[in-house]
Structure 1
Amino acid sequence: MTETDRTDRVVTPYEGAAARAWDDAAPIAAPLCVHETRVRPEWLDYNGHMSESCYLLVFGDDSDAFFRYIGIDEAYRAAGHSLYTVETHIFNRREAAADDPLRLTLHLLDHDPKRLHVFHAMHNAETGALLATAEQMLLHVATGSGRTAPMPEPLQRRLAAIRAAHAALSVPDEVGHVIGIPRRAS
């Protein structure tokens, strides 16, 4: 049994799917919409809403779909590289219930040879209501050493094209938000 055949771990909906072939001439949506799903009954908590951990699960699936979009798949990982999430900030805006259709968008805020700064937005696909957002910092890693490593030039070119297409998007209000309890001066 290979690691990909194991069933005792989290498996994303895109696992085993090959990366999408990149077309330099194809238009790039701003923001990208590469993942849609429905709220599964096992994602519900004791309040009957999607559990907070499942929001992160769905945002992770959106990242995985984005990886396939830019050229990262199992073959890429087998060659010794991957993207790791190092920080995530989630804003929960509205509740999601069983079988609600979810549409996710991804805005590439910035990148350099070793890092991606992305912003996900989760909407109800029928009503358009914003349900949650997630801001993430991802690192490109050489998996053998566990250390950051520059992405190959083709990935960097693809990210530059996406970033150029997303440059006209405004930076969402949630980006860079710091958690804290505001105190008034006495």
Structure 2
Amino acid sequence: MDRVVTPYEGSGHRPWDDEAPIPAPLRLHSTDVRPQWVDYNGHMSESCYLLVVGDDSDAFFRFIGIDEQYRAAGGSLYTVETHLHHRGEAALGDPLELGLRVLDHDHKRVHLFHEMHHGDTGALLATAEQMLIHVDTTRGGSAPLPEYLQQRLTTIATAHRSLPAPASVGVPMGIRR
């Protein structure tokens, strides 16, 4: 059976270094627009923007220590909500550079913000706001994050507080009249 495989699957994670500076934002994922991502309009299809954001999330999971071994032990982060804002078009072969920031977290949830830029021009192509929940996959429900992950998230969120708040965060969708 075929399944979605991220570019980082099987790569594990690097050891966390408490002394390492935390970039604001994190730059963990980049890719080029692939032929199978281009639609009948000649640009990257809307679902593929989400695919790229998901790959950025997977890179982040590995950055904080969530990998195959962590999942095999019964823990994972699941996306419960995503707000994707398309800001520009990407064409076949265009380089994509992603930035990720931790906006907030608590004992079970992580609030992320992604920005997708064109790797050559720097143009903003998309933003995505995500709410993730930590899950005990053996029990089948939400569960508190281990203390060491909460500490890592606090370290990252503290570094990311220096960034200006994204204008689109928390904005509901609707037709304004």
What's the TM-score bracket when you normalise by the shorter of the two chains? over 0.9
Q: Pick from 157, 162, 174: which aligns with 1:163? A: 157
RMSD (CA atoms): 0.7
Distance in 2 between residues matched to 1:177 and 1:51, nearest whole Å: 23
1:151 is matched with which residue? 145
2:45 is matched with which residue? 51
Q: Percent identity?
A: 68
Deviation at 1:20, TM superposition (A): 1.6
1:123 is matched with which residue? 117
Secondary structure at the aligned position of 1:176 is classed as coil
Deviation at 1:125, TM superposition (A): 0.8
Distance in 2 between residues matched to 1:110 and 1:146, nearest whole Å: 24
1:75 is matched with which residue? 69
2:85 counterpart of 1:91? yes
Task: Write the letter of the residue equivalent to 1:109.
Answer: L
Deviation at 1:170, TM superposition (A): 1.1
Distance in 1 between residues matched to 2:105 and 2:99, nearest whole Å: 17
Distance in 2 between residues matched to 1:177 and 1:57, nearest whole Å: 22
1:3 is matched with which residue? none
Runs of 4+ in structure 1 displaced over 2 angstroms? none
For normalisation by structure 2, the TM-score amounts to 0.98
2:108 counterpart of 1:101? no
Distance in 2 between residues matched to 1:72 and 1:9, nearest whole Å: 20
Task: Provide, for residues 69-113 of structure 1, a one-character-per-residue CA deviation record: whole Å limited to 9, x for no partner.
Answer: 000000000000100000000000000000000000001000011
